[in-house]
Chain A
């Protein structure tokens, strides 16, 4: 077997093997069972609760959960705006980097609290170490917020009738201290030992063989890269993200970082099986996600390894596949694998330039974000999937001659209203804002000439990708777009905010409303949701509802480019 493909398969298998026990562990954490980290971390948790005056044993209903989430997010927002706009005089700025403008600070803040990590700046020159540390803090807490919300929904899906869905702060702190922190420490140590910088010193200077003076940026990178990968954040320490040699030094670190991308999203699906005691349901969800993932991954690897047809036409052999914008130390297969894993989850870190992918790989990357629930972001990926389950349950429930129910709870008009709004929100944000930017560009190409590096289909793809990435809270960029201007900072910021909070509130509201309903026991007439047939139904709903509505837009972007 080709070693490149072998590498990819090894990464996937290792990841699943790690995700299974991690899922069991996460379930234990949220079920309040004892774990081996308790003796060390319980005092830390207690300290947090004491300092903040939170009573972790008091339960909340879904609205109180959401209020707690939004409140702490608002505090973070204000804090981050302050730091980013005043970095130049605040401490930990050895390279004397400037403060951000208001629109860039807004975009960056929203980007990091929404777990998007879209970066319209370059890490080396755009932020101080204090700025990096604040952003790193958000990489922890935005991920933990997503996991905490997911725990609320799992709790709400249990077989009972209740309004009490646990304590948000408790879920949140546990997500940080029991899941993200220990994993990040392990990963950061592996990365640091493989040559990644972990220092607060400023730029290193050396004189190259040619005699040039070279300033090499460094900083506390290993710590940030670990949580960047684990928390589906994706915001790199350096501008080139994980394509940068100091952010991803070798094939081993590449494997570790890539495994981290989908580790927690998949582990969370397994933890659902443990928490609800419905392992078959968890495997059904995992199965649907995996089939969708493979549908994007396999052709992408094929196209990248086959190479660029225009170069082939020139008579140049491409034994390594399409290598434009890729790192030789990773190769085309591992780059395509990263490209798809980072887009199906809402991670958004890159180890190759997505702009340079062959057109259809670019399309699959976009489709991954458009669907945003084949694994998806930590916690929120499942929430998106949950919406599709609700729609699939509704239609297939009718098909078996019963008013629809999911896990013993009837799905009625109110839940359908929420599910429908959330399902169309993503499509709306992506298409409407891409339409707005297209319209502006067509109306006055001279003024906006700086936006697009490429004309035609590829230029269209750049805009489509940017909003897709923002709306999916992904954060990867189809570079080539001149996005560091107020228009893109502000519109992308708005898209990120809306696309972060509504798709969290919606599923939690549905789960909360369902939890309050009477539990209907299963009979022979009840639709079983943990079957292959239902899995096919969910996949069909996702493909027809989510993927097909982008078909016309994709035809003008990557598909058009492919057939050109």
Chain B
């Protein structure tokens, strides 16, 4: 397994260049207004420019020109920093999406015309950009698939490494749950006929790119609520600063425009205001880096809230499929005969279980003479399969009760020791397959699930986050219970039918829980749609992909766990930076308020606890700190605050300590340091 690394540097030069350009473009007030906090900063910046012009024209009451211009420039840079944060997040997201999109540049497509110029079903080569939804094309060995689609005829091995980074080829075939192909992947062998399922520009990837780019990016509900709170803070400080003018007049303290505006800009939550959209984009970007395409930002947010995860046993909790681990012959049966019968019964069984039986028997399938033998395939009715040999011997293998019924019908009894063995195997989490020959029980084959290493720890981690895990399996309850206990999941659905998943999800949701599931088949689609977060595998059917709100390019069922953490990180980053931003106000008050009144009330010098050099240096230092904290926090906003599953209260304590207390202390130190530098000039 080789995964293409998608970890690029936070500030790649080419991206930085693009982001710098965008920082200026985003100064457009019409774009700016979407961010109320930074929009008010923009108004203040424009206002400061006016003040500078006013002073230039001869006004004397507003302080020196250089000082005012400096304030103006710092405010301007504050705006650029905030825009840069958003722009760099966008650029990174776009670069990520582009690298995926590159795989689908114009490729020649062998389009099938139902009624062509000369023949019916004529094949002509057209550029992929001309393919529309509903068109049919053909792909043969060596072709690159031009468009997302669904195989309607044939089977092929496909190299999907361009999308998933997974080098092992996969098999896709018409019908069933593995019929989807993705544009940009390559057919390694065979020939398939594919129907185009999306119109150009409407594939999931296109939707994702649009989400990252400003145009169609909608604020998520939580982002809206936070924006309201931040706007509220901004209004409070508008009130505080505007009323300060008559207060100052009453106290015969003239306050300069620069001081008013600096106080205002410092107090409003510019740090979180400037980084808010970057945090949201970075969340989607992190999902993309995990090879998950999200259809909305809301889905990522919801992922952080998930209470219940429905996980398929196979592939998530256990490695692939069950394997035969033991042959247990009945007491009076020769082991060699039994093993041979097992191998014979499984010769035509193409399932992984069947193959593993032949493998375990150690026999070479080619040594058997099966001329004239009739293979009996598995059906849901008989729940058994087997082989009818030309010499009239009928070998069957199947579920315990199916074989017992069959044996019982012909009057034979089921050997007690085999029945005991069946129970032992089941209670140990294995699956027993009973083998009979002409209605005589020969013995039982033990199939075992192999639990993925490290999965218990991941479930433990989820439990600490408050997420309940539910294993979904087609196994009988006994086996399911054993594996559930061994893997450490909280609950399981045994002998699951598609509607069981649906019912379980509904039941959980009625209890107020948020549920996520992963699925690939068409019969998973209703449950995927019902789940709060439905992750469809990229290899799954179109219906499944439409129904879910995320698509996992890796087809990796453990991805749900990662998605939960990405969601939590997103919310935490928002929360911690809001706390940090608001906590910063304490120091800024103590920097600016004494500076405002020092002339009329010299005693207020006592409030200048940082011992800042002069009123001008105090105000400048606060504004400079306010500006540079934004770029300093961009890496944190993009990477996200690390999530630790230590329980909500401990997590709050930790974050409150780091970002709350830190948010109070750091600006005191920062402003003091800046002041010592600024004091050289002012």
A residues adjacent to B (C-beta < 8 A): 391, 394-403, 408, 411-413, 415-417, 419-421, 423-424, 427-428, 431-432, 434-436, 438-439, 441-442, 456-457, 459-460, 518-521, 523-528, 531, 533-534, 536-537, 540, 544-545, 548-549, 551-553, 555-556, 559-560, 562-564
Contact = CB atoms under 8 A, between A and B. Distances in A.
B247 A396 contact: no
A559 B232 CA distance: 27
Nearest 7 pairs between A and B by C-beta? Answer: A563-B603, A398-B575, A525-B466, A420-B232, A401-B568, A523-B466, A524-B466
10 contacts: A398-B578, A399-B659, A400-B572, A400-B652, A401-B568, A424-B239, A435-B242, A523-B466, A533-B652, A556-B250
Contact of B240 (A423, A544, A549): A549
A403 B236 contact: no
A259 to B, nearest CB: 35
B24 to A, nearest CB: 31
A358 to B, nearest CB: 15
Most A CB contacts (10 A, CB to CB) among B237, B301, B304, B601 go to: B601
Given A399-B651, A460-B250, A417 B243 contact: no
A420 B224 CA distance: 13
Interface stretch (B334-342, B493-501, B582-590): B582-590
B512 interface: yes
A520 B240 CA distance: 38
A402 B568 contact: yes
A399 B466 contact: no
A424 B467 contact: no
Interface in B577-603: 578-579, 582-583, 585-586, 589, 593-594, 596-597, 601, 603
B652 A399 contact: yes
Contacts of A395: 229, 575, 578-579, 582
A549 B237 contact: yes
Contact of A524 (B232, B301, B463): B463
A555 B222 CA distance: 37
B583 A402 contact: no
Contact of A403 (B222, B239, B597, B643): B222
B465 interface: yes
Given A396-B652, A457-B251, A548 B225 contact: no
Contacts of B648: 400, 402, 524-528
A560 B647 contact: no
B235 A424 contact: yes
Contact of A552 (B247, B571, B606): B247
A387 to B, nearest CB: 11
Given A420-B229, A438-B246, A523 B307 contact: yes
A413 B221 contact: yes
Given A521-B511, A524-B464, A552-B596, 11 more contacts: A394-B225, A400-B655, A403-B222, A412-B225, A424-B235, A428-B239, A523-B468, A524-B466, A544-B586, A549-B240, A555-B601
Interface string B475-486: 000000000000
B576 A439 contact: no
B465 A424 contact: no
A433 B651 CA distance: 42
A549 B588 CA distance: 12
A421 B229 CA distance: 9
Interface of B: 221-222, 224-226, 228-229, 231-233, 235-237, 239-240, 242-251, 253, 263, 301-302, 304-305, 307, 463-468, 511-513, 567-569, 571-572, 574-576, 578-579, 582-583, 585-586, 589, 593-594, 596-597, 601, 603-607, 643, 647-649, 651-653, 655-656, 659-660
Contacts of B467: 523, 525
Nearest to B651: A400
B145 to A, nearest CB: 39
A151 to B, nearest CB: 25
A560 B231 CA distance: 31
Contact of A401 (B233, B235, B571, B601): B571
A398 B585 contact: no
Given A398-B578, A399-B652, A403-B305, A548 B586 contact: yes
Most B CB contacts (10 A, CB to CB) among A413, A417, A528, A562 go to: A413
B593 A423 contact: no
A397 B568 CA distance: 11
A552 B221 contact: no
A527 B647 contact: no
A486 to B, nearest CB: 21
Contacts of B647: 524
Contact of A560 (B304, B465, B597, B643): B597
Contacts of B589: 548, 551-552
B652 A394 contact: no
Contacts of B235: 424
Most A CB contacts (10 A, CB to CB) among B247, B467, B656 go to: B247
Contacts of A552: 240, 244, 247, 263, 589, 593, 596
A420 B250 contact: no
A462 to B, nearest CB: 11
B165 to A, nearest CB: 28
Contact of B604 (A400, A408, A518, A555): A555
B304 A401 contact: yes
Contacts of B579: 395, 399
Nearest to A431: B243
Nearest to A554: B593
B575 A399 contact: yes
A544 to B, nearest CB: 6
A548 B243 contact: no
Most B CB contacts (10 A, CB to CB) among A427, A431, A521, A562 go to: A431
B601 A438 contact: no
B604 A559 contact: yes
Contacts of A560: 251, 597, 601, 603-604
A544 B236 CA distance: 12
A402 B305 contact: yes
B649 A435 contact: no
Given A401-B568, A531-B649, A533-B656, A416 B228 contact: yes
Contacts of A537: 652, 656, 660
Contacts of B263: 552
A88 B648 CA distance: 65
A82 B307 CA distance: 60
B221 A555 contact: no
A438 B597 contact: no
B641 to A, nearest CB: 9
A399 B568 CA distance: 9
A411 B652 contact: no
A419 B582 CA distance: 17
Given A427-B240, A548-B585, A403 B601 contact: no
A431 B239 contact: yes
B348 to A, nearest CB: 49
Nearest to B302: A403
Contact of B575 (A397, A411, A519, A555): A397
Given A399-B651, A527-B649, A551-B593, A556 B571 contact: no
A544 B585 contact: yes
Given A412-B221, A523-B307, A563-B604, A399 B656 contact: yes
A67 B357 CA distance: 76
A429 to B, nearest CB: 10
A555 B237 contact: no
Nearest to B237: A549
Contacts of B583: 540, 544
A521 B466 CA distance: 11
Nearest to B304: A401
Contacts of A523: 307, 466-468
A470 to B, nearest CB: 16
A537 B244 CA distance: 29
A41 B251 CA distance: 57
A60 B245 CA distance: 47
A111 B305 CA distance: 46
A398 B574 contact: yes
A551 B267 CA distance: 12
